[in-house]
Structure 1
Protein backbone atom coordinates (compact mmCIF):
# COMPACT_ATOMS: atom_id res chain seq x y z
CA UNK A 1 0.00 0.00 0.00
CA UNK A 2 1.32 3.40 -0.92
CA UNK A 3 0.57 5.76 1.93
CA UNK A 4 0.28 9.52 2.12
CA UNK A 5 -0.64 12.10 -0.44
CA UNK A 6 1.47 11.43 -3.51
CA UNK A 7 1.02 11.29 -7.24
CA UNK A 8 -0.28 7.73 -7.35
CA UNK A 9 0.15 7.09 -11.08
CA UNK A 10 3.77 8.25 -11.05
CA UNK A 11 4.81 6.55 -7.82
CA UNK A 12 2.88 3.32 -7.28
CA UNK A 13 4.80 1.00 -9.63
CA UNK A 14 8.26 2.39 -8.69
CA UNK A 15 7.42 1.97 -4.98
CA UNK A 16 6.29 -1.62 -5.55
CA UNK A 17 9.44 -2.27 -7.60
CA UNK A 18 11.69 -0.87 -4.82
CA UNK A 19 9.92 -2.99 -2.18
CA UNK A 20 10.31 -6.15 -4.25
CA UNK A 21 14.02 -5.44 -4.84
CA UNK A 22 14.56 -4.69 -1.15
CA UNK A 23 13.02 -8.07 -0.26
CA UNK A 24 14.85 -9.80 -3.18
CA UNK A 25 11.53 -10.94 -4.60
CA UNK A 26 9.66 -10.88 -7.88
CA UNK A 27 5.95 -10.23 -8.31
CA UNK A 28 5.43 -13.92 -9.17
CA UNK A 29 6.69 -14.89 -5.68
CA UNK A 30 3.76 -13.18 -3.99
CA UNK A 31 1.21 -15.61 -2.52
CA UNK A 32 -1.77 -13.23 -2.40
CA UNK A 33 -2.65 -9.63 -3.18
CA UNK A 34 -4.27 -7.39 -0.56
CA UNK A 35 -6.06 -4.12 -1.30
CA UNK A 36 -7.78 -1.39 0.64
CA UNK A 37 -11.00 -1.03 -1.39
CA UNK A 38 -12.08 2.46 -0.40
CA UNK A 39 -13.73 4.78 0.20
CA UNK A 40 -11.06 7.35 -0.49
CA UNK A 41 -9.51 9.32 -3.32
CA UNK A 42 -11.31 8.40 -6.56
CA UNK A 43 -8.08 8.66 -8.57
CA UNK A 44 -6.01 6.74 -6.03
CA UNK A 45 -8.57 3.93 -5.86
CA UNK A 46 -8.82 3.64 -9.66
CA UNK A 47 -5.04 3.50 -10.02
CA UNK A 48 -4.72 0.95 -7.22
CA UNK A 49 -7.33 -1.34 -8.74
CA UNK A 50 -5.94 -0.95 -12.28
CA UNK A 51 -2.50 -1.93 -10.97
CA UNK A 52 -3.96 -4.90 -9.10
CA UNK A 53 -5.83 -6.09 -12.21
CA UNK A 54 -2.60 -5.79 -14.23
CA UNK A 55 -0.72 -7.94 -11.72
CA UNK A 56 -3.55 -10.48 -11.62
CA UNK A 57 -3.60 -10.72 -15.43
CA UNK A 58 0.06 -11.76 -15.42
CA UNK A 59 0.20 -13.58 -12.06
CA UNK A 60 -3.22 -14.95 -11.06
CA UNK A 61 -3.17 -15.21 -7.27
CA UNK A 62 -5.81 -15.01 -4.53
CA UNK A 63 -6.89 -11.46 -3.78
CA UNK A 64 -8.38 -10.04 -0.58
CA UNK A 65 -9.81 -6.62 0.16
CA UNK A 66 -11.15 -4.60 3.07
CA UNK A 67 -12.83 -1.25 3.48
CA UNK A 68 -10.37 1.60 4.06
CA UNK A 69 -12.47 2.51 7.10
CA UNK A 70 -12.10 -1.01 8.52
CA UNK A 71 -8.34 -1.06 7.86
CA UNK A 72 -7.88 2.23 9.72
CA UNK A 73 -9.94 0.95 12.67
CA UNK A 74 -8.08 -2.37 12.78
CA UNK A 75 -4.80 -0.50 13.21
CA UNK A 76 -5.95 1.24 16.40
CA UNK A 77 -6.01 -0.19 19.91
CA UNK A 78 -6.84 1.04 23.38
CA UNK A 79 -10.25 2.66 22.93
CA UNK A 80 -13.80 1.46 23.66
CA UNK A 81 -15.68 3.29 20.87
CA UNK A 82 -14.17 4.55 17.63
CA UNK A 83 -15.45 6.49 14.64
CA UNK A 84 -13.38 6.59 11.46
CA UNK A 85 -14.07 9.57 9.22
CA UNK A 86 -12.46 10.35 5.89
CA UNK A 87 -12.86 13.55 3.92
CA UNK A 88 -15.39 12.91 1.13
CA UNK A 89 -15.12 16.57 0.01
CA UNK A 90 -17.91 19.09 -0.49
CA UNK A 91 -18.67 19.17 3.26
CA UNK A 92 -19.20 15.41 3.52
CA UNK A 93 -17.41 12.61 5.36
CA UNK A 94 -17.14 8.87 4.80
CA UNK A 95 -17.67 7.33 8.22
CA UNK A 96 -18.19 4.14 10.15
CA UNK A 97 -18.43 3.59 13.91
CA UNK A 98 -16.99 0.65 15.83
CA UNK A 99 -17.12 -0.80 19.34
CA UNK A 100 -14.28 -2.75 20.90
CA UNK A 101 -14.73 -6.51 21.23
CA UNK A 102 -11.62 -8.05 22.76
CA UNK A 103 -8.75 -7.38 20.35
CA UNK A 104 -11.08 -6.58 17.43
CA UNK A 105 -13.39 -3.81 16.34
CA UNK A 106 -16.99 -4.66 15.51
CA UNK A 107 -18.69 -2.26 13.09
CA UNK A 108 -21.77 -0.61 14.61
CA UNK A 109 -23.37 -0.14 11.20
CA UNK A 110 -22.61 0.21 7.50
CA UNK A 111 -20.19 2.76 6.04
CA UNK A 112 -21.99 6.04 5.28
CA UNK A 113 -21.55 9.42 3.63
CA UNK A 114 -22.72 12.13 6.02
CA UNK A 115 -22.47 15.86 6.63
CA UNK A 116 -20.20 17.13 9.40
CA UNK A 117 -23.25 17.87 11.59
CA UNK A 118 -24.65 14.36 10.99
CA UNK A 119 -21.28 12.88 11.90
CA UNK A 120 -21.15 14.73 15.21
CA UNK A 121 -24.78 14.12 16.17
CA UNK A 122 -24.50 10.40 15.32
CA UNK A 123 -21.42 9.69 17.43
CA UNK A 124 -21.88 7.12 20.18
CA UNK A 125 -21.00 8.51 23.62
CA UNK A 126 -17.31 8.30 24.46
CA UNK A 127 -16.19 7.83 20.86
CA UNK A 128 -12.70 8.65 19.71
CA UNK A 129 -12.31 9.97 16.17
CA UNK A 130 -9.68 9.04 13.57
CA UNK A 131 -9.08 9.55 9.85
CA UNK A 132 -8.21 12.56 7.70
CA UNK A 133 -11.77 13.86 8.16
CA UNK A 134 -10.71 14.86 11.68
CA UNK A 135 -9.41 18.12 10.19
CA UNK A 136 -13.01 19.02 9.25
CA UNK A 137 -14.05 18.49 12.89
CA UNK A 138 -11.15 20.37 14.49
CA UNK A 139 -13.23 23.05 16.20
CA UNK A 140 -15.76 20.58 17.60
CA UNK A 141 -13.92 19.63 20.85
CA UNK A 142 -13.85 15.87 20.19
CA UNK A 143 -11.47 13.16 21.42
CA UNK A 144 -9.04 12.54 18.55
CA UNK A 145 -6.73 9.56 18.00
CA UNK A 146 -3.09 10.58 17.23
CA UNK A 147 -2.53 11.58 13.59
CA UNK A 148 -0.17 8.65 12.90
CA UNK A 149 -3.32 6.46 12.99
CA UNK A 150 -5.40 8.42 10.47
CA UNK A 151 -4.56 6.38 7.33
CA UNK A 152 -4.94 2.74 6.30
CA UNK A 153 -1.63 0.87 6.72
CA UNK A 154 -0.24 -2.01 4.70
CA UNK A 155 0.91 -3.69 7.93
CA UNK A 156 -2.68 -3.70 9.16
CA UNK A 157 -3.93 -5.35 5.95
CA UNK A 158 -1.22 -8.00 6.32
CA UNK A 159 -2.18 -8.61 9.96
CA UNK A 160 -5.87 -8.97 8.98
CA UNK A 161 -4.82 -11.51 6.35
CA UNK A 162 -2.64 -13.48 8.77
CA UNK A 163 -5.43 -13.54 11.39
CA UNK A 164 -8.03 -14.46 8.76
CA UNK A 165 -10.08 -11.56 10.09
CA UNK A 166 -13.64 -11.43 8.68
CA UNK A 167 -13.16 -7.72 7.85
CA UNK A 168 -10.88 -8.90 5.01
CA UNK A 169 -12.87 -10.61 2.26
CA UNK A 170 -11.64 -12.82 -0.56
CA UNK A 171 -12.44 -11.13 -3.86
CA UNK A 172 -13.80 -13.60 -6.40
CA UNK A 173 -16.63 -11.97 -8.37
CA UNK A 174 -15.95 -9.25 -10.99
CA UNK A 175 -17.97 -6.60 -9.10
CA UNK A 176 -15.72 -7.13 -6.06
CA UNK A 177 -12.73 -5.94 -8.11
CA UNK A 178 -14.12 -2.42 -8.14
CA UNK A 179 -13.39 0.39 -5.69
CA UNK A 180 -15.97 1.17 -3.00
CA UNK A 181 -16.80 4.83 -3.51
CA UNK A 182 -20.00 5.28 -1.40
CA UNK A 183 -20.89 8.34 -3.49
CA UNK A 184 -20.79 9.53 -7.09
CA UNK A 185 -17.77 11.41 -8.39
CA UNK A 186 -17.96 15.18 -8.74
CA UNK A 187 -18.24 14.78 -12.53
CA UNK A 188 -21.11 12.28 -12.17
CA UNK A 189 -22.93 14.56 -9.73
CA UNK A 190 -22.45 17.53 -12.06
CA UNK A 191 -23.78 15.51 -15.00
CA UNK A 192 -26.87 14.51 -12.98
CA UNK A 193 -27.40 18.15 -12.00
CA UNK A 194 -27.16 19.29 -15.63
CA UNK A 195 -29.88 16.81 -16.65
CA UNK A 196 -32.43 18.20 -14.18
Structure 2
Protein backbone atom coordinates (compact mmCIF):
# COMPACT_ATOMS: atom_id res chain seq x y z
CA UNK A 1 0.00 0.00 0.00
CA UNK A 2 1.27 3.54 -0.76
CA UNK A 3 1.71 6.49 1.58
CA UNK A 4 -1.31 7.08 3.83
CA UNK A 5 -2.13 10.49 5.22
CA UNK A 6 -5.60 10.70 6.73
CA UNK A 7 -7.32 13.97 7.57
CA UNK A 8 -10.26 13.29 9.89
CA UNK A 9 -12.80 15.48 11.65
CA UNK A 10 -16.13 15.19 13.44
CA UNK A 11 -18.92 17.68 14.16
CA UNK A 12 -21.69 15.28 15.20
CA UNK A 13 -21.49 16.24 18.89
CA UNK A 14 -20.59 19.43 20.80
CA UNK A 15 -16.92 18.57 20.11
CA UNK A 16 -15.39 20.09 16.97
CA UNK A 17 -12.39 17.83 16.47
CA UNK A 18 -9.80 17.36 13.71
CA UNK A 19 -6.66 15.24 13.33
CA UNK A 20 -4.00 14.07 10.89
CA UNK A 21 -2.77 10.44 10.90
CA UNK A 22 0.10 9.04 8.83
CA UNK A 23 -1.00 5.41 8.92
CA UNK A 24 1.03 4.68 12.03
CA UNK A 25 0.31 7.46 14.51
CA UNK A 26 -1.60 10.69 15.09
CA UNK A 27 0.58 13.58 13.93
CA UNK A 28 -1.66 16.37 15.22
CA UNK A 29 -5.06 16.73 16.86
CA UNK A 30 -7.30 19.63 17.90
CA UNK A 31 -10.59 19.50 19.83
CA UNK A 32 -12.87 22.30 21.00
CA UNK A 33 -16.16 21.63 22.78
CA UNK A 34 -18.68 24.24 21.63
CA UNK A 35 -22.10 23.10 20.48
CA UNK A 36 -22.97 26.38 18.70
CA UNK A 37 -19.91 27.12 16.56
CA UNK A 38 -19.27 24.06 14.38
CA UNK A 39 -19.20 26.03 11.15
CA UNK A 40 -16.92 28.69 12.62
CA UNK A 41 -14.44 26.33 14.28
CA UNK A 42 -13.98 23.44 11.86
CA UNK A 43 -11.93 25.02 9.06
CA UNK A 44 -9.47 26.71 11.47
CA UNK A 45 -9.11 23.37 13.27
CA UNK A 46 -8.30 21.62 9.98
CA UNK A 47 -5.77 24.31 9.08
CA UNK A 48 -4.21 24.03 12.54
CA UNK A 49 -3.70 20.25 12.49
CA UNK A 50 -2.27 20.35 8.97
CA UNK A 51 0.17 23.05 10.07
CA UNK A 52 1.09 21.24 13.30
CA UNK A 53 1.62 17.99 11.38
CA UNK A 54 3.86 19.79 8.89
CA UNK A 55 1.85 18.69 5.86
CA UNK A 56 -0.16 20.41 3.15
CA UNK A 57 -3.75 19.70 2.20
CA UNK A 58 -2.55 18.44 -1.19
CA UNK A 59 -0.58 15.69 0.63
CA UNK A 60 -3.74 14.16 2.15
CA UNK A 61 -4.67 10.77 0.68
CA UNK A 62 -8.01 10.24 2.49
CA UNK A 63 -10.57 12.54 4.11
CA UNK A 64 -12.77 11.07 6.83
CA UNK A 65 -15.74 12.71 8.53
CA UNK A 66 -17.81 11.53 11.45
CA UNK A 67 -21.18 10.57 9.95
CA UNK A 68 -23.19 10.81 13.15
CA UNK A 69 -25.75 10.19 14.40
CA UNK A 70 -26.04 13.76 15.55
CA UNK A 71 -28.08 16.95 15.29
CA UNK A 72 -28.76 17.98 11.70
CA UNK A 73 -27.02 21.37 11.63
CA UNK A 74 -23.74 20.39 13.27
CA UNK A 75 -23.47 17.07 11.50
CA UNK A 76 -23.79 18.46 7.99
CA UNK A 77 -20.93 20.94 8.59
CA UNK A 78 -18.39 18.12 8.78
CA UNK A 79 -19.79 16.05 5.94
CA UNK A 80 -20.14 19.00 3.56
CA UNK A 81 -16.58 20.05 4.40
CA UNK A 82 -15.33 16.54 3.65
CA UNK A 83 -17.04 16.53 0.27
CA UNK A 84 -15.72 20.00 -0.57
CA UNK A 85 -12.14 19.07 0.38
CA UNK A 86 -12.43 15.84 -1.59
CA UNK A 87 -13.47 17.81 -4.68
CA UNK A 88 -10.59 20.23 -4.17
CA UNK A 89 -7.82 17.69 -3.55
CA UNK A 90 -9.04 14.60 -5.40
CA UNK A 91 -8.57 12.54 -2.23
CA UNK A 92 -11.49 10.18 -1.54
CA UNK A 93 -13.92 11.13 1.21
CA UNK A 94 -15.34 8.60 3.66
CA UNK A 95 -17.78 8.56 6.54
CA UNK A 96 -17.44 6.68 9.82
CA UNK A 97 -20.19 6.36 12.40
CA UNK A 98 -19.23 8.76 15.20
CA UNK A 99 -20.20 6.14 17.78
CA UNK A 100 -17.64 3.78 16.21
CA UNK A 101 -14.93 6.39 16.80
CA UNK A 102 -15.99 6.68 20.45
CA UNK A 103 -15.95 2.90 20.80
CA UNK A 104 -12.49 2.68 19.25
CA UNK A 105 -11.16 5.34 21.61
CA UNK A 106 -12.59 3.47 24.62
CA UNK A 107 -10.29 0.54 23.81
CA UNK A 108 -12.45 -2.10 25.47
CA UNK A 109 -12.15 -5.80 24.65
CA UNK A 110 -15.52 -6.79 26.13
CA UNK A 111 -19.16 -5.91 25.27
CA UNK A 112 -20.28 -2.34 26.05
CA UNK A 113 -22.58 0.49 24.94
CA UNK A 114 -21.72 3.89 23.50
CA UNK A 115 -24.22 6.72 24.03
CA UNK A 116 -24.25 10.38 22.98
CA UNK A 117 -26.78 13.12 23.65
CA UNK A 118 -29.65 13.15 21.14
CA UNK A 119 -31.48 16.03 22.88
CA UNK A 120 -35.23 15.83 23.54
CA UNK A 121 -34.34 13.65 26.57
CA UNK A 122 -33.10 10.89 24.24
CA UNK A 123 -29.80 9.13 23.50
CA UNK A 124 -28.06 8.01 20.32
CA UNK A 125 -26.54 4.64 21.11
CA UNK A 126 -24.97 1.46 19.75
CA UNK A 127 -23.85 -1.85 21.25
CA UNK A 128 -20.36 -3.26 20.68
CA UNK A 129 -18.76 -6.66 21.14
CA UNK A 130 -15.40 -4.90 21.48
CA UNK A 131 -13.78 -1.62 20.43
CA UNK A 132 -13.91 -2.53 16.72
CA UNK A 133 -17.15 -4.48 16.38
CA UNK A 134 -20.59 -2.86 16.39
CA UNK A 135 -23.35 -5.46 16.78
CA UNK A 136 -26.45 -3.28 17.23
CA UNK A 137 -27.44 0.25 16.27
CA UNK A 138 -27.02 3.10 15.86
CA UNK A 139 -30.42 3.86 17.33
CA UNK A 140 -32.16 6.67 19.19
CA UNK A 141 -34.14 5.91 22.36
CA UNK A 142 -34.97 7.16 25.82
CA UNK A 143 -32.28 6.35 28.40
CA UNK A 144 -34.51 3.90 30.23
CA UNK A 145 -34.95 1.87 27.03
CA UNK A 146 -31.25 1.09 26.57
CA UNK A 147 -30.07 -2.50 27.13
CA UNK A 148 -29.04 -3.05 30.73
CA UNK A 149 -26.04 -4.57 32.39
CA UNK A 150 -23.28 -3.41 30.02
CA UNK A 151 -20.55 -0.82 30.62
CA UNK A 152 -21.31 2.64 29.20
CA UNK A 153 -19.16 5.12 27.28
CA UNK A 154 -20.03 8.64 26.08
CA UNK A 155 -21.62 11.94 27.13
CA UNK A 156 -25.13 10.54 26.72
CA UNK A 157 -24.40 7.92 29.34
CA UNK A 158 -22.87 10.50 31.68
CA UNK A 159 -25.88 12.81 31.33
CA UNK A 160 -28.28 10.09 32.45
CA UNK A 161 -25.93 8.23 34.78
CA UNK A 162 -28.39 8.36 37.65
CA UNK A 163 -31.03 6.53 35.60
CA UNK A 164 -28.60 4.17 33.85
CA UNK A 165 -26.33 3.42 36.80
CA UNK A 166 -23.19 5.34 37.69
CA UNK A 167 -21.34 2.08 38.30
CA UNK A 168 -21.69 1.26 34.57
CA UNK A 169 -19.71 4.31 33.39
CA UNK A 170 -16.25 3.43 32.07
CA UNK A 171 -13.71 5.56 33.91
CA UNK A 172 -11.36 7.53 31.70
CA UNK A 173 -13.28 6.94 28.46
CA UNK A 174 -13.88 10.03 26.27
CA UNK A 175 -17.32 11.62 26.30
CA UNK A 176 -17.21 12.80 22.68
CA UNK A 177 -15.74 11.35 19.46
CA UNK A 178 -12.12 12.44 19.04
CA UNK A 179 -10.63 12.88 15.59
CA UNK A 180 -7.41 11.09 16.55
CA UNK A 181 -9.35 7.90 17.20
CA UNK A 182 -11.49 8.48 14.11
CA UNK A 183 -8.38 8.88 11.95
CA UNK A 184 -6.67 5.85 13.51
CA UNK A 185 -9.72 3.66 12.93
CA UNK A 186 -10.00 4.84 9.32
CA UNK A 187 -6.27 4.28 8.71
CA UNK A 188 -6.62 0.76 10.11
CA UNK A 189 -9.54 -0.01 7.81
CA UNK A 190 -7.73 1.46 4.78
CA UNK A 191 -4.68 -0.67 5.53
CA UNK A 192 -6.96 -3.71 5.57
CA UNK A 193 -8.19 -2.83 2.08
CA UNK A 194 -11.45 -1.14 3.00
CA UNK A 195 -12.90 1.66 0.95
CA UNK A 196 -12.20 0.37 -2.56
CA UNK A 197 -15.27 -1.85 -2.87
CA UNK A 198 -17.55 0.47 -0.91
CA UNK A 199 -19.00 -2.34 1.19
CA UNK A 200 -17.01 -1.94 4.42
CA UNK A 201 -19.26 -1.79 7.51
CA UNK A 202 -17.09 0.88 9.16
CA UNK A 203 -15.58 2.99 6.37
CA UNK A 204 -18.51 4.08 4.21
CA UNK A 205 -19.51 6.86 1.84
CA UNK A 206 -19.81 10.28 3.54
CA UNK A 207 -23.56 10.24 4.15
CA UNK A 208 -25.18 11.52 7.36
CA UNK A 209 -26.79 9.23 9.91
CA UNK A 210 -29.73 11.29 11.16
CA UNK A 211 -32.10 8.67 12.66
CA UNK A 212 -34.86 11.30 12.84
CA UNK A 213 -36.07 14.38 11.01
CA UNK A 214 -34.30 17.74 11.53
CA UNK A 215 -35.84 20.18 14.02
CA UNK A 216 -36.36 22.80 11.31
CA UNK A 217 -39.58 22.59 9.31
CA UNK A 218 -40.80 24.37 6.21
CA UNK A 219 -43.58 26.76 7.17
CA UNK A 220 -47.05 25.67 6.23
CA UNK A 221 -49.72 27.82 4.60
CA UNK A 222 -50.90 30.79 6.72
CA UNK A 223 -53.89 30.18 8.87
CA UNK A 224 -57.13 31.92 7.98
CA UNK A 225 -58.08 34.61 10.46
CA UNK A 226 -61.54 35.32 9.11
CA UNK A 227 -64.54 33.07 8.63
Question: What is the TM-score of this pair, normalised by structure 1?
Answer: 0.80
Picking from 213, 223, 226, the partner of 1:184 is 213
**Stretches of structure 2 lacking an aligned partner (at least 5 in a row):** 1-8, 10-16, 18-30, 193-199, 221-227
For 2:50 and 2:116, the matched residues in 1 are separated by: 30
2:106 corresponds, among 51, 70, 76, to 76
Q: Is the 8 A contact 1:62 1:170 kept in 2?
A: no
How far 1:112 sits from its partner (Å)?
Answer: 0.8
SS of 1:111's equivalent? strand
Pick aligned residue for 1:160 from 176, 180, 185 = 185
Runs of 4+ in 1 over 6 A off after TM superposition: none
Aligned residues of 2:63 and 2:91 also touching (Cα < 8 A)? yes
Equivalenced residues, count: 179
Q: 1:148 to 1:46 in 2, by over 3 A?
A: same
Q: Is the 8 A contact 2:71 2:214 kept in 1?
A: no
CA positional deviation for 1:22: 2.0
| Greater share of residues in helix | 1
Partner residue, 1:128? 151
Once the two structures are TM-superposed, the CA of residue 79 in structure 1 deviates from its matched residue by 5.2
Distance 1:27 1:134 in 2: 36
Partner of 1:115: 142
Task: Select the structure of larger CA radius of gyration.
Answer: 2
Q: 1:30 to 1:146 in 2, by over 3 A?
A: same
Which TM-score applies when normalising by structure 2? 0.70
Q: How does 1:1-196 map to 2 (within 5 A)?
A: 1=9, 2=17, 3-6=31-34, 7-78=37-108, 80-100=110-130, 104-119=131-146, 122-123=147-148, 125=149, 127-140=150-163, 141-142=165-166, 143-146=168-171, 148-164=173-189, 166-171=200-205, 177-188=206-217
- Asked if the contact 2:161–2:169 (Cα under 8 Å) also holds between the matched residues in 1, the reply is no
Please report how far the alpha carbon of residue 57 of structure 1 lies from its aligned counterpart in structure 2 after TM superposition: 1.9
Structure 1: 5+ residue runs without aligned partners? 172-176
CA-atom RMSD in angstroms: 2.3
SS of 2:216's equivalent?
A: helix
SS of the residue corresponding to residue 99 of structure 1 reads strand
Partner-residue secondary structure (3-state), 2:133: strand
